[in-house]
Structure 1
Amino acid sequence: MLMGCWVRAIFKRSAAFEQCKEHCRMFSSSLRPRPRITRARKNWLRAAYADNIRRETIEQPVEPNLIFRERFRKEMDTVKLAPQIFDYFLVLDFEATCDRTRMPEVQEIIEFPVVKVDAQTMEVVSTFHHYVLPRVNPALTTFCTQLTGIIQDMVDGQPHFEEVTQLFQKWMDAEGLLHPECKSCFVTCGDWDLATMLPMQSDYFKVPVPSYFDRWINVKHSFSECIGHFPRGLMLMLESLNIQHTGRHHSGIDDCMNIVKIMRALSERGYVFRINGQRTAVRGGKGKKF
């Protein structure tokens, strides 16, 4: 009888022992680190997920979504741009003869670009662009070519300054910008173009300056009023607004297109452009272009 009790005790203890071992094994297996997912495995999972989403999208009717997105885009385009007091903006950015060590005694315009922008949509509707052959210093310096990207062949055979101003007057008339009911204003990056460069060359060659050049919008001041700090140049404005620069810096026509991007970004923030520069206020060459 004692032997039987002893055997039953041993049997029960061994069964409990085995059960405990099993529990410990299960617990330890749960603590094992999970196998790492390699980068290739992650890429495969992403591709599979994207393919699954694509298939689900294809199976769904997409026509109503496309109609909604197009309508939403048009509504956003009309809502997010502030209404302006002008009909058109004329974005202008001259490039002129220059040198690294000493500026020419007479600085002359070698690129004359003006971009006509619809003030309500901020879209470019027309462009005037001419290279100009300088008279006093017809040979461009190496520094001038490196800065502006304008090579000698681009100005050779081009009309002189007075001829280009006449062509520009005809373009203004053909675009309806000289009509009394048309409200337009020039836009520059700084005051140098219309406060210094154009009057200085016009005085030297005895070319009258049309009155529509007397007032303009300095986009730097507009940026300062809208954003809260004054920018030193075009590139800093683009960077502050998180806008990708396109083209070549100090190429007149490319700078004009980038100024248009800045104006659109400011208009999207509700800014209304107003005249903030005029020749009578900065006469005497005080303006400066960066």
Structure 2
Amino acid sequence: MALIKLARQLGLLETIYVDGESAADKSNTSSYLNRLRKPQLTMQPYKYLICVDFEATCWENHAPPNWREPEIIEFPAVLVNMQTGKVEAEFQKFVMPIESPKLSAFCTELTGIKQKSVDDGMPLQTAIMMFQEWLRKELRTRNLQLPKMSKDKPIGTCAFVTWTDWDFGVCLAKECQRKRLKKPTYFNQWIDLRAIFREWYKYRPINFADAISHVGLTFKGREHSGIDDARNLASLAYKIANDGAPLAITKDLAPFQLNSNCIL
């Protein structure tokens, strides 16, 4: 239990319950945590990380009303080797928004994504399917497993990484729910690198670029380009790991569910 306490202090053990029950109501919490107990926190369990940074429709100076929720317009991911720091594979697709099909001038200026790119883009469900094919190929090529793919290896050897919980916990989850799209269960677990960054360096960055600069890295590419942000996120994850920070799953939307229905 000392290890679990330390993990909580480091912000590496934060669970979202989706069925409305509190932790006190979960009689099997201890056994679950034991199954997912991290190895020594000074060791890195993941051989590879998949860094994701969605870009979505947005508007200037105010939160959108209920009928104008953010929709994903760029779906990027990079696969980084945590032994070398090298990005070995990339995925990028532009996605057609259907709730607010016309991009705001603010969105185009911020992300650099043109109206034609999303007009020629694909539905989100198609992007998810194409991503799954890419993911299956890359994982099988390297004999990697995502977390909770089997009872024998609940931690896995490869995990998703985002900057904050917004990408998977808010943006993708809510859009799939609104549009009644099937979301693969492997999107339910991820590493929030900002949470680890804050605790490890005892510094609260103003934004992602500030975090990059704080550890002596240089941002490469265009800020708020999804694929460039994902590449820089990979560089930051490698830097943090080399500095000794333990990388572990920080969020789990379905903590008592294996990803056994995943077809990877």
Tell whether the structures are fold-level matches, with TM greater than 0.5: yes
More helix per residue: 1
Does the aligned pair in 2 maintain the 1:195–1:278 contact within 8 Å? Answer: no
Q: Does 1:109 align with 2:72?
A: yes
Q: 1:84 to 1:258 in 2, by over 3 A?
A: same
* Aligned counterpart in structure 1 of residue 189 of structure 2, from 209, 215, 220: 215
C-alpha distance in 1, partners of 2:124/2:83? 32
Question: Could you say which residue in structure 2 is the equivalent of 1:158?
Answer: 121
Instruction: Give 1:129 deviation, angstroms.
Output: 0.5
> Identity of paired residues, percent?
33
C-alpha distance in 2, partners of 1:211/1:279? 9
Does the aligned pair in 1 maintain the 2:50–2:158 contact within 8 Å? Answer: yes
The amino acid of 2:88's aligned partner reads V
* Aligned counterpart in structure 1 of residue 99 of structure 2, from 110, 113, 136: 136
C-alpha distance in 1, partners of 2:127/2:208? 26
Gaps of 5+ in 1: 1-81, 282-290
C-alpha distance in 1, partners of 2:55/2:243? 30
Tell me: higher relative CO, structure 1 or 2? Use CA pairs within 8 A at least 6 residues apart: 2
The amino acid of 1:88's aligned partner reads Y
Question: Could you say which residue in structure 2 is the equivalent of 1:202?
Answer: 176
Question: Could you say which residue in structure 2 is the equivalent of 1:187?
Answer: 161
Question: Could you say which residue in structure 1 is the equivalent of 2:31?
Answer: none
* Aligned counterpart in structure 2 of residue 225 of structure 1, from 176, 182, 199: 199
Runs of 4+ displaced beyond 3 Å: 177-182
C-alpha distance in 2, partners of 1:213/1:87? 18
State how many pairs are aligned.
Answer: 200
Aligned-partner SS, 1:116: strand
C-alpha distance in 2, partners of 1:207/1:92? 19
C-alpha distance in 2, partners of 1:274/1:102? 32
Does the aligned pair in 2 maintain the 1:222–1:273 contact within 8 Å? Answer: yes
Gaps of 5+ in 2: 1-41, 256-264
* TM-score (norm. length: structure 1): 0.64
Instruction: Give 1:240 deviation, angstroms.
Output: 0.9
C-alpha distance in 2, partners of 1:123/1:165? 24
Which string of whole-angstrom CA distances, capped at 9 and with x for unpartnered residues, describes residues 217-251 of structure 1?
11111212321223342112112112111111111
Q: Does 1:149 align with 2:112?
A: yes
Question: Could you say which residue in structure 1 is the equivalent of 2:13?
Answer: none
Does the aligned pair in 1 maintain the 2:82–2:238 contact within 8 Å? Answer: no
Using the TM superposition, name which of 239-248 and 188-197 deviates more.
Answer: 239-248
Question: Could you say which residue in structure 2 is the equivalent of 1:252?
Answer: 226
1:67-106, aligned counterparts within 5 Å?
84-100=44-60, 101-103=62-64, 105-106=68-69
* Aligned counterpart in structure 2 of residue 241 of structure 1, from 204, 215, 220: 215
